[in-house]
């Protein structure tokens, strides 16, 4: 299978390529990136010529694309790929408006190509084990969730609203909304939110607390922030506490690590992650879906539902 990469604006692009390189009979044959500062580095790193126009990129031979552009460019790239009959894995959030999400989904449906949303947390083994416990009834009836997704300020285009569409709340809400929807097979009914800028000297939000109620009556709180400082030993956290009538289970997706402390140096400690690679799970699944002509595990509609909640949070916070 031949894969094309569309933009390396999002840092996940590099980990996705690492995952692709581990798969047999899968090669990257085309790269599109119109950011001049990245082009020479990408060509040297991967040995693939970097195209700066869609026309040149789609002249190459490949079966699917992985899109890792700035958030507000997702729609244009998805539509270009769909019109050229390429299956698509699109970085989250799927888009920055409901209109764009719906247009992307319809375009892929019209051209009969797969649109999968990049939610790698679904491939975290502890999260998958929680899913099994819930499905097996081990926790009883789920009453509530408490979730967090707190990371470092990524800077760059992430803090430019015209490119990102939103700050920490958009960046760090969609993952856990998707996980909660997946765990209980229910949609969010109501959203309340408190959103602010507390940790960084920036014009975009870097902190938010969301309170959710699902259609099946489950309530949830979510802490989305860029509250981790630059010298923090890891980029952030992904946690969920599932409260049931029989049991409460707490999952920390980043718990599988070795914590090393240093006597000297600028960094007092670091986390070396030794658990399952979520990005690798996402990429492997995407490739298998295409090879086996299966429906996507995480659809464009899943991406849309998560975006709806994040955008509604901004609306009610105002």
> Which residues 6+ apart lie within 8 Å of 56 measured at CB?
none
CA pair distance 246, 190, nearest whole angstrom: 26
pLDDT at 226 over 90: yes
Nearest to 147 by CA among 250, 229, 248: 250
pLDDT tens per residue across span 4-49: 999 999 999 999 999 999 999 999 999 999 999 999 999 999 999 9
Mean pLDDT of 130-151: 98
Tokens of 107: 């375009």
pLDDT at 271: 76
Is residue 150 very low, low, confident or very high in pLDDT (cuts 50, 70, 90)? very high
Residue 164 gets the label, from left (phi > 0), alpha (psi -120 to 50) or beta, of alpha
pLDDT tens per residue across span 73-95: 999 999 999 999 999 999 999 99
For the structural domain made of 132-274, what CATH number should be given? 3.30.360.10
Higher pLDDT, 258 or 245: 245
Average pLDDT, the chain: 95
Is residue 256 very low, low, confident or very high in pLDDT (cuts 50, 70, 90)? confident
Full-model pTM: 0.94
Nearest to 69 by CA among 28, 21, 19, 10: 10
User: CA 268 → CA 174, 177, 260, 265, distances in Å?
Assistant: 32, 33, 9, 7
Is residue 233 very low, low, confident or very high in pLDDT (cuts 50, 70, 90)? confident
Percent pLDDT > 90 in the chain is 90
pLDDT at 273: 76
pLDDT at 231 over 80: no
pLDDT at 88: 98
Domain ranges of the chain: 132-274
The 10 Å Cβ neighbour count of residue 112 is 9
CA pair distance 226, 48, nearest whole angstrom: 34
Asked if 308 and 98 touch (Cβ cutoff 8 Å), the reply is: yes
pLDDT at 202 over 80: yes
The 10 Å Cβ neighbour count of residue 191 is 22
The 10 Å Cβ neighbour count of residue 263 is 5
Give one DSSP letter per residue of 196-210, joined into a string.
Answer: E--SSSSSS--EEEE
pLDDT at 212: 98
pLDDT tens per residue across span 257-302: 788 888 887 777 777 877 778 999 999 999 999 999 999 999 999 9
pLDDT at 67: 98
pLDDT at 221 over 80: yes
With b for 16 or more beta-carbon neighbours within 10 A and e for fewer, the 217-228 pattern comes to ebebebbbbbbb
Look at the block and give the residue holding tokens 């909640």.
309
C-alpha torsion 52→58→62→68, nearest 10: 50
Give one DSSP letter per residue of 83-138, joined into a string.
Answer: HTT-EEEEESSS-SSHHHHHHHHHHHHHTT--EEEE-GGGG-HHHHHHHHHHHTTT
Tokens of 132: 């099994």
Percent pLDDT > 70 in the chain is 100
Mean pLDDT of 46-66: 97
């Amino acid at each position: 299978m031949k894969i094309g990469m569309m933009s390396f604006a999002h840092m996940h692009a590099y980990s996705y390529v690492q995952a692709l390189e581990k798969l047999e009979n899968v090669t990257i044959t085309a790269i599109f990136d119109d950011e001049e500062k990245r082009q020479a580095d990408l060509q040297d790193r991967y040995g693939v010529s970097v195209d700066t126009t869609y026309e040149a990129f789609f002249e190459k031979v490949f079966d699917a694309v992985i899109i890792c552009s700035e958030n507000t460019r997702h729609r244009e790239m998805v539509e270009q790929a769909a019109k050229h009959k390429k299956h698509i894995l699109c970085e989250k959030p799927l888009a920055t408006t409901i209109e764009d999400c719906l247009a992307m989904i319809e375009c892929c449906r019209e051209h009969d190509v797969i649109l999968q949303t990049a939610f790698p947390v679904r491939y975290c083994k502890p999260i998958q084990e929680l899913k099994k416990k819930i499905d097996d009834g081990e926790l009883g009836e789920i009453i509530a969730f408490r979730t967090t997704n707190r990371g470092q300020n990524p800077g760059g285009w992430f803090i430019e609203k015209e490119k990102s569409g939103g700050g920490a709340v958009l960046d760090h809400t969609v993952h856990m909304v998707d996980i909660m929807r997946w765990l209980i097979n229910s949609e969010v009914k109501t959203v309340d939110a408190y959103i602010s800028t507390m940790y960084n000297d920036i014009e975009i939000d870097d902190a938010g607390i969301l309170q959710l109620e699902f259609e099946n009556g489950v309530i949830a709180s979510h802490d989305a922030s860029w509250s981790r400082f630059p010298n923090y030993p890891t980029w952030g956290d992904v946690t969920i506490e599932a409260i049931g009538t029989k049991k409460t289970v707490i999952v920390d997706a980043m718990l599988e690590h070795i914590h090393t402390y240093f006597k000297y140096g600028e960094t007092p400690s670091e986390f070396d992650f030794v658990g399952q690679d979520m990005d690798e799970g996402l990429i492997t699944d995407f490739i298998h879906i295409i090879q086996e002509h299966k429906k996507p595990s995480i659809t464009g509609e899943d991406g849309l539902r998560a975006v709806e909640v994040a955008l509604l949070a901004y609306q009610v916070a105002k």
